[in-house]
Amino acid sequence: MGRIAPRLLHWAWIPAPEVISDRLSGVNPGDDCLCVEYVLLVDDRPLAIFTNYLRSPEAARIDQVAFVDDFYSLLHHGGVAIDTFDIGIQAACADDYAAALLHVMPGEPVMRWSSRFAIVTARSSTMPSEPVAANSNCISTGSCASI
């Protein structure tokens, strides 16, 4: 596929928006969460925009300095092991923001998806995993086709 690298747009502790707190265990609206937004580059070409929200106990385990390829590798580096993952995908048109970041024209087709994942906890393996991160992503379909 090529060399993967993030172009960091935003790394900040923010109050959890309600739409995010509704998707994460133990997070109420306004609770601190880490928001990491970046453009995923493949061979220096923009492929996708990722906006990730991570609840504070897990976010405290990751380090911005270690963010050199993708969010999942960053979690792994911080010892946050993903247990389960759910995803929703839909077709969309690039808005002005996404178009500028993905180097496509506004209105061009993109894939939008949202996901939520849970981590392996130290509790008994019979206990369900807790959703700890949620994200919203946009991928340029033109970029995918040309890789």
4-146 topology per CATH = Chorismate lyase (3.40.1410)
Question: Structure pTM?
Answer: 0.81
The SS3 assignment for 102 reads helix
Across the chain, which has 147 residues, the per-10-residue mean pLDDT values are: 90 91 86 92 91 88 92 88 80 91 91 77 45 63 42
Which residues contact residue 4 at a Cβ distance below 8 angstroms, ignoring those fewer than 6 apart? 40, 41, 42, 69, 70
pLDDT in tens, 72-100: 899 888 888 877 777 888 888 999 999 99
